[in-house]
């Protein structure tokens, strides 16, 4: 009981440790995946969207630069105010790009950077409006302001946007490197976890295998001891039966025989006028004879001396008619395959199996007929007892009589089967191996 409790505790501890390790690894992996998802959504994807908007703003600033260059070209003959509508379209597009960019700007961007871009943009458009107002009165001065102020402001805005693009690229590269590190950590931890699980599984499996092996060894040892004890009990039982049988046959049989002889002599010596006495003596003599027959029958049942005198087959030939008279059950007995010369030890155990099986037929089957088949095979002897009753009931398969038959079969190196017969009744089949010369081959214990 203690070993079972100890094994259960160890198994539960192993399962708990495995589940705990799995939970820790799952929690760690989940946190790493969340970090990876945050890098993917908040940095990489956001940087890419922001970079596209910055490129859009950069293109708009380049369009401003080209527009101011063309505006300063005096050969085309256009006044500066003619460019106002074109610059207004560029302004709408640039302000829209900057507004969208500020909404998706990376979290790493500082407030100073965002404020500088917005203030520079506002100063540029304010200066551009003043240039167009000045161009209405003094176009030459307005062209000077474009060269001195607007182009410098446009270059500063382009530089600021370019720096933001470079910063986004650097952030994206750093995020990709961080993601690769997370992937590497997760992969490494996965291998570590799998290795730990394999080691734990191997340790638990080894422990269970060794424990089961010890349990099997103990069960095998106990089973062998039980068999040895059962065989010793059966041998002791046979020895006791043999002793009692000899006592009954030799002592009580001789005493009853002597009493019968003395009664017979007394009958002869009784006078003719003692008719009543002679009748009493005959009745007593009949009782003595009946008692002598019962003692001999009991002696034969306890230990069939006929086995030693005439052999197994003749003993079976003698026992079956006695069984039929005692129980009223008809027994069909058939022998095939030649003579079955078995040794004394084999014969007594086969005979006991036959007795027990036929007694079970009489006690449990309710059948009026039974079959006994004795078959000599090439290397074995097979004995079958079959009835036409209701067959074996499962709980009865562990009955004392069936256990005794099984132990007897194993004692002589044979095997026994409890089957269902062709007619639905019980079938007991015992097979005992034989040597080449017909002698029994004992099974190695």
Domain layout of the chain by residue ranges? 2-208, 309-433
Q: Rounded CA gap, 134 and 137, in Å?
A: 6
Q: What is the predicted pLDDT for the residue at 246?
A: 63
Q: Rounded CA gap, 262 and 31, in Å?
A: 111
H helix intervals, 247-311: 253-269, 275-302, 305-310
Show the CA angle centred on residue 381, arms to residues 380 and 386, nearest 5°: 135
Q: Where are the beta strands (DSSP E) in 363-434?
A: 369-376, 380-387, 415-420, 426-433
**What is the fold of 309-433?**
Heat Shock Protein 90 (3.30.565)
Q: Rounded CA gap, 154 and 61, in Å?
A: 7
Q: What is the predicted pLDDT for the residue at 251?
A: 62
* Residue 396 scores a pLDDT above 60: no
- Quickly count helices (H) and strands (E) in the chain: 12, 5
At 18-72, the pLDDT tens digits run 777 777 777 777 777 776 666 666 667 777 888 888 888 889 889 888 888 887 7
Mean pLDDT of 302-316: 71
At 216-226, the pLDDT tens digits run 888 888 877 77
In this prediction, what percent of the chain has a pLDDT beyond 70? 72
Q: Rounded CA gap, 407 and 228, in Å?
A: 10
Q: What is the predicted pLDDT for the residue at 443?
A: 34
């Amino acid at each position: 009981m203690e070993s079972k409790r100890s094994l259960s505790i160890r198994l539960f501890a192993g399962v708990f440790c495995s589940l705990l390790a799995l939970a820790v690894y799952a929690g760690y992996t989940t946190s790493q995946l969340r970090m990876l998802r945050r890098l993917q959504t908040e940095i990489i994807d956001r940087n890419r969207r922001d970079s596209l908007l910055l490129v859009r703003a950069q293109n708009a600033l380049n369009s401003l630069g080209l527009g101011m260059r063309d505006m300063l070209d005096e050969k085309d003959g256009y006044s500066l105010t003619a460019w106002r509508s074109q610059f207004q379209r560029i302004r709408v597009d640039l302000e829209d790009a900057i507004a969208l960019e500020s909404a998706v700007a990376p979290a790493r961007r500082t407030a100073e950077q965002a404020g500088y871009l917005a203030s520079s943009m506002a100063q540029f458009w304010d200066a551009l409006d003043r240039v167009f107002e000045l161009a209405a009165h003094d176009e030459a001065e307005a062209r000077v302001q474009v060269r001195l102020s607007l182009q410098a402001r446009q270059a500063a805005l382009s530089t600021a946007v370019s720096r933001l693009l470079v910063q986004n690229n650097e952030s994206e590269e750093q995020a990709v490197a961080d993601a690769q590190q997370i992937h590497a950590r997760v992969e490494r931890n996965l291998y570590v976890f799998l290795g730990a699980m394999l080691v734990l599984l191997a340790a638990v499996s080894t422990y269970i295998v060794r424990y089961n092996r010890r349990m099997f060894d103990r069960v095998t040892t106990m089973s062998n001891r039980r068999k040895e004890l059962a065989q010793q009990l059966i041998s002791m039982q046979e020895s006791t039966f043999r002793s009692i049988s000899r006592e009954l046959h030799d002592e009580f049989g001789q005493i009853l025989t002597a009493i019968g002889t003395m009664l017979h002599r007394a009958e002869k010596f009784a006078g003719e006028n003692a008719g009543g006495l002679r009748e009493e003596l005959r009745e007593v003599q009949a009782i003595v004879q009946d008692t002598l027959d019962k003692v001999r029958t009991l002696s034969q049942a306890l230990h069939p001396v006929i086995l030693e005198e005439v052999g197994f087959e003749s003993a079976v030939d003698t026992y079956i008619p006695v069984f039929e008279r005692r129980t009223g059950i008809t027994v069909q007995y058939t022998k095939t395959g030649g003579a079955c010369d078995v040794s004394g030890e084999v014969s007594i155990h086969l005979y006991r199996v036959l007795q027990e099986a036929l007694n079970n037929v009489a006690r449990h089957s309710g059948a009026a007929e039974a079959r006994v088949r004795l078959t000599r095979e090439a290397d074995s002897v097979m004995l079958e007892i079959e009835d036409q009753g209701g067959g074996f009931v499962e709980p009865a398969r562990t009955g004392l009589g069936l256990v005794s038959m099984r132990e007897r079969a194993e004692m002589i190196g044979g095997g026994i089967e409890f089957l269902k017969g062709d007619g639905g009744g019980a079938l007991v089949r015992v097979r005992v191996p034989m040597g080449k010369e017909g002698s029994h081959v004992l099974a190695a214990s």
